[in-house]
Structure 1
Amino acid sequence: MTIKPIRTEEDYHMALIRIKLLEDAKSDTPEADELEVLNILIEHYERENAPMGMPDPIDSIKIFNKYFNE
């Protein structure tokens, strides 16, 4: 995955999905580095865009399907 700024709610949902996929990454791997950077980007997005709580699970599934089932 190419890491880019989180600018939209859709970007935010995609980053959350990616974090879920990377949650078991081993230390000192590119995946662990990606996980760390994504966490920083998500924290920044959440601070700038007010507390959002957990994303709607249905919206997350729709976004996931849009990108991974085309």
Structure 2
Amino acid sequence: MRSGASTGCSINGVAYPGQALDYHCFANPLADDDYNWTYVRNVSTGVEGWIRHDLLSDHGSKVRCR
């Protein structure tokens, strides 16, 4: 989980398999990494941050961030 929608952003926390994530929305990449990102809250820890879609088993949120 990162502070922004880029691998260059700092790490906020980790989401482990089996932990529930509350999806908020998705955004296109801030950097040239060709990945979309979903903003999530880890229900187990309360930590919020961005996770790349390819790292989520269901490919993330379907709602675009405004």
Which TM-score band applies after superposition, normalised by the shorter structure? Answer: under 0.3
Higher RCO structure, 1 or 2 (CA under 8 Å, sep 6+): 1
Give the structure with the larger helix fraction.
1
TM-score, normalised to structure 1, is: 0.23
TM-score, normalised to structure 2, is: 0.24
Greater Cα radius of gyration, structure 1 or 2: 1
Give the structure with the larger strand fraction.
2
